[in-house]
Amino acid sequence: MPASDYCPATLQQVQASVTGFFQEVGCELLAYGADHATVGLNLTAQHLNNASTLHGGVMATLMDVAMGLCGTWEADPAQRRVAITLSMSLNFSAPARVGSHVRAVARCRSSGNKVFMAGCDLLDQDDRLIAFGEGVFKRGALRTELPV
């Protein structure tokens, strides 16, 4: 896993600024830096589908957040922009069960002024590939410009 470019306190600050469903699901920002982000989750019963494995929507959320973050890093976290998902393609390759710890490891593949492309692997605690994908994202407003 790539190291974070932020100290632990700043990493926590950024994690708290990722609002909405990320917080509801129980995600954790594990590493964040220029062109990379890693998001983790300890799987509980609320994250499962009817087959008692990790729900595809939860996998998509983890990967979407990690890929969106990997293209929005700034040295000053207050200057970080939100990412707007333009398209995303995911492939699910293995199940994950309750008690597992999964992490979405994303890398920015290409970046322009407003649009960037990212790839992501979703891995379990044994580094087994659970899912993989790629996406295209647009940099949006600064976090400080958003309504509270």
Write the DSSP assignment of 99-148 as a string of letters: T-EEEEEEEEEEE-SSEEEEEEEEE-TT--EEEEEEEEEEEEEEGGGS--
At 148, is the pLDDT very low, low, confident or very high (cuts 50, 70, 90)? low
Condensed to tens digits (0 to 9), the pLDDT of residues 15-30 reads 888 878 888 899 999 9
Q: Is 80 exceeded by the pLDDT of residue 70?
A: yes
* Angstrom distance (rounded) from CA 58 to CA 64: 10
Q: What is the pLDDT of residues 125-145, one digit of tens each?
A: 999 999 999 999 999 988 777
pLDDT-above-70 percentage for the chain: 98
CA 5 to chain CA centroid, Å, is 16
Residue 1 has pLDDT above 70, yes or no: no
pLDDT at res. 105? 98
Q: What is the pLDDT of residues 85-94, one digit of tens each?
A: 999 999 999 9
34 — phi, psi (to 5°)?
-60, 115
